[in-house]
Amino acid sequence: MPDPLPAQIKRPQFKRLLIAQTAVVLVATIIGAILSGAAAVSALFGGLVCLLPSAYFAWRAFRYQGARFARDIVKSFYRAEAGKFGLTAALFALVFIAVPPSNPALFFGAYVATLSTQWLGPWLLQRPSHI
């Protein structure tokens, strides 16, 4: 049996969610810049540790659509989530080994703030009404 084709139906629009996360990263970086230059770098890295895995998940999760591909939908979702988890762990390790944050509170604050924007997902991913 040949592999199923990627979805021809439109994927959910993650663009608004990723833009909101990018805005939170920028606000945290600006707050860090006001405090000190090194704190801005910590905030930037904290936000990116959350933003990059989220972008990876959005890219990989919804490859298939339709009832015919139910098994492939579940597989791609689990693979995307596993990849997101692995990428998050790798980025945390990379940041703490290569560039230890000078302000860990701002690093984790930016990470949590960026992660918290995912709660807005149902509202930001909502398709506009045609009424």
Cα–Cα dist 13/55, whole Å? 12
**pLDDT at 128 > cutoff 60:** no
Look at residue 5 and tell me if it is in a domain: no
In-domain check, residue 83: yes
Taking 90 as the threshold, does the pLDDT of residue 131 lie above it? no
Whether pTM exceeds 0.75: yes
Round to whole Å and give the CA distance between 94 and 71.
34
Mind listing the pLDDT tens digit for each residue in 75-123? 888 999 999 999 999 999 999 999 888 888 999 999 999 999 988 777 7
Helices and strands: H and E segment counts in the chain: 5, 0
For residue 8, being part of any structural domain is answered with no
Q: What is the pLDDT of residue 127?
A: 60
Say if 127 falls within a structural domain.
no
**How many domains is the chain partitioned into structurally?**
1
Task: Give the residue numbers spanning the domain of 68.
Answer: 15-122
Q: HSE-up of 109 (CA within 13 Å, CB side)?
A: 16
User: Is 70 part of a structural domain of the chain?
Assistant: yes
